[in-house]
Structure 1
Amino acid sequence: MDLSKMSNERKLHLCKWYFRGGFALLPFLWAVNAVWFAQEAFTVPQYDEQKQIRRYVIFSGLGAFVWFAGLLAWIITFQTHRATWGEFGDSISWIIPTGIP
């Protein structure tokens, strides 16, 4: 979709929709919102809705970063400590690797 063909009100509506969609445990929408609207928020000439779009872009980027950092922390923790968690580690695993007691 080409943002240059949309009205400023429609851009704000779409940016707001993507931001709110990220709260439905869809942090990928926040990442898309931050990347897709970054140029619109920071580099184009000023217009009335740009200040709100900028705010949504910043918060979307922060939200996506926090989600992905948390996910990375969980993946590293799980991969390095699953075997030491014993039965609990096995019960939260879908595939139990062989060769690790």
Structure 2
Amino acid sequence: MDLNRLPNDKKLQLCRWYFRVGCLLLPFAWAVNAVWFFNEAFVKPPFEEQKQIKKYVLISAVGAAVWACALIAWVTVFQMNRVLWGATGDMLSFIVPLGRA
């Protein structure tokens, strides 16, 4: 989608919609929102809706970063401790690897 063809009020509406979708535990939508509207929020000359778009872009970027850090931390802890957790680690695994590392 070309954001240049949208009026500013529709850009704000779309940015707000992506932020709300991200609030439904879909952090990828926050990442898309932060990347997609970055230029509108920080590069373009000032316009009336820019302040609100900037707020949604910043919150989306922080939310996506927090989710990414939490996911990386969980994967690291799980990979390092899966064998130690025994049956619980195996039940949490989608594919149970054979043997021991």
**TM-score if structure 1 supplies the norm length?**
0.96
How many equivalent pairs are there? 101
Give the SS at the match of 2:44.
Answer: coil
Partner of 1:14: 14
Give the SS at the match of 2:84.
Answer: helix
1:90 aligns with 2:56: no
Partner of 2:42: 42
CA distance in 2, matches of 1:34, 1:95: 33
Consecutive aligned runs of 4 or more in structure 1 exceeding 2 Å deviation: none
Match for 1:10: what amino acid? K
Please list every run of 5 or more consecutive structure 2 residues that lacks an aligned counterpart in the other structure: none
Q: What are the residue-to-residue correspondences of 1:28-67 with 2, within 5 Å?
A: 28-67=28-67
Q: Percent identity?
A: 54
**TM-score if structure 2 supplies the norm length?**
0.96
CA distance in 2, matches of 1:94, 1:28: 22
Please list every run of 5 or more consecutive structure 1 residues that lacks an aligned counterpart in the other structure: none
Q: CA RMSD in A?
A: 1.1
CA distance in 1, matches of 2:25, 2:96: 27
